[in-house]
A and B are shown apart, each in its own frame.
Chain A
Amino acid sequence: MSYDKLFYKDLMMLNADFSTSQQMFEFVSNELVARDFVEESFKASIINREKNFPTGLATEYLQIAIPHTDVVHVKKPFIYVIKLEKSLPFLQMATTDKWIDVNTVFILGIKNPSKQVGLLSTIMDKFREKIFIDNFSAISNQDQMIDFLQKQFRSEE
Chain B
Amino acid sequence: MKKVIVACGSGVATSQTVASKVAKLLKEKNVKAEVEAIDIKSLDRFIKTCDVYVALTNPQKDYGVPVVQGIPFLTGMGMEQELEKLINALK
Contact A120–B74 (Cβ < 8 Å)? yes
Chain B 5-27 per-residue mask, 1 if CB under 8 angstroms from chain A, else 0:
00011111110110011000000
Contact A93–B76 (Cβ < 8 Å)? no
A36-79 contacts to B, CB under 8 A, are: 49, 52-53, 55, 57-60, 66, 68-71
Q: Is B58 an interface residue (CB 8 A)?
A: yes
- Of B12, B20, B70, B76, the most chain A CB neighbours within 10 A belong to B12
Contact B20–A53 (Cβ < 8 Å)? no
Contact A121–B21 (Cβ < 8 Å)? yes
Contact A96–B12 (Cβ < 8 Å)? no
Cross-interface CB contact of B14 among A69, A71, A120, cutoff 8 Å:
A120
Known contacts A93-B56, A94-B55: does B13 contact A57 (CB below 8 Å)?
Answer: no
Chain B 31-60 per-residue mask, 1 if CB under 8 angstroms from chain A, else 0:
000000000100000000000000111100
Interface residues on A, range: 20 to 34
- Which B residues are CB-close (under 8 A) to A55? 14
B interface size (C-beta, 8 A):
23
Nearest-Cβ distance from residue A153 to partner chain B, whole angstroms: 15
Contact A121–B9 (Cβ < 8 Å)? no
Contact B76–A96 (Cβ < 8 Å)? no
A interface, over-half SS: loop
- Which B residues are CB-close (under 8 A) to A68? 10, 12-13
Bound form: Cα–Cα A49–B10 in Å: 9
Q: Is B1 an interface residue (CB 8 A)?
A: no
- Which A residues are CB-close (under 8 A) to B87? none
- Of B40, B56, B69, B71, the most chain A CB neighbours within 10 A belong to B71
Q: Is A128 an interface residue (CB 8 A)?
A: yes
Q: Is A95 an interface residue (CB 8 A)?
A: yes
Contact B12–A113 (Cβ < 8 Å)? yes
Q: Is A119 an interface residue (CB 8 A)?
A: yes
B residues near A, CB below 8 A? 8-14, 16-17, 20-21, 40, 55-58, 69-71, 74-77
